[in-house]
Amino acid sequence: MDIKKDPMGRAIADYHRTGKAGRLRVFSPMFEKDEIPVQTLFRAYEDMPESERKALDMAKGSTLDVGAGSGCHSLVLQQRGVDVTAVDISPLSVATMKERGVKNVLEQDFFALHERYDTILMLMNGIGIVGTLERMPDFFRHLDRILAPGGQLLCDSSDISYVFEDEDGNIEYPEDMAYYGELNYTMQYKNIMGAAFDWLYVDAETLKRIAKENGYAVEVLVEGKHYDYLARITKNNEEE
């Protein structure tokens, strides 16, 4: 990724260097303008939601932190002696993670990795990088390649159907919508505008169904307060 198109990475680098950052804006056709408070990307274990703490507590063996951002999860695991590797496509986030002391950092696209890991973490709605439901089968074929035998993927997501609920509690989706959790985002920080990207929010039932079709099982470990959940995905050996 070109650093001129890396708004989140620039915000992370600024916050790391100066202890403050400007607004990290998020645009999506579906939502009002929004922003990500940059300091939350630097959260400590105590400040993390239960789902993230649980995922960290369950990480074992060689562990991959996908879309690691500022390295907040990798740093906790590293301190605990877990063999963790952080991966991110953002060059400025990768540089910041190195400065913060994350020992194993890869500047790469998750989908281009080929080593195997016992635990794969995708946190802060990390499974979002799959982008669309259509890409799910490719995602599971990639897991076949990089998840070690007996390995686990720990990811979080949310059921965002509440976004389409009216005052009476009726849910109606726009007719042209393939799946309501398929969003498209653009981020901006200062004068840096990122490229638009697909981001997926998937409800647990849909994730379970698609995982099963692709030879994987999903267990919901934590249900959060905002329709969010933590899932553990493992290879479904019964069907082999």
Element (DSSP H or E) covering residue 141: helix 136-146
Q: How far apart are the first and last CA of the chain?
A: 39
Span from 109-117, 148-156, 182-190, 224-232 in contact with ligand SAH (CB under 6 A): 109-117
Length of the chain: 240
Phi-psi region of 186 (alpha: psi -120 to 50; beta: other; left: phi over 0): beta
Span from 22-30, 68-76, 156-164, 219-227 in contact with ligand SAH (CB under 6 A): 68-76
Tell me how far, at minimum, the Cβ of 171 lies from ligand SAH, in Å.
28
Tell me how far, at minimum, the Cβ of 237 lies from ligand SAH, in Å.
28
Q: Which of 51, 85, 90, 152 binds ligand SAH (CB under 6 A)?
A: 90
Tell me how far, at minimum, the Cβ of 131 lies from ligand SAH, in Å.
9
- Contacts of residue 162, Cβ cutoff 8 Å, sequence gap at least 6: 171, 227
Q: Is 230 in the site for ligand SAH (CB under 6 A)?
A: no
Binding residues with ligand SAH: total (CB under 6 A)? 19
> Are 50 and 43 within 8 A, CB to CB?
no
What phi, psi does 22 have (nearest 5°)?
-75, -165
Q: Which of 8, 21, 187, 233 binds ligand SAH (CB under 6 A)?
A: 8
Q: Is 92 in the site for ligand SAH (CB under 6 A)?
A: no
What is the rounded CA–CA span in Å between residue 119 and residue 33? 35
Q: What residues from 10 to 49 belong to the interface with ligand SAH (CB under 6 A)?
A: 41
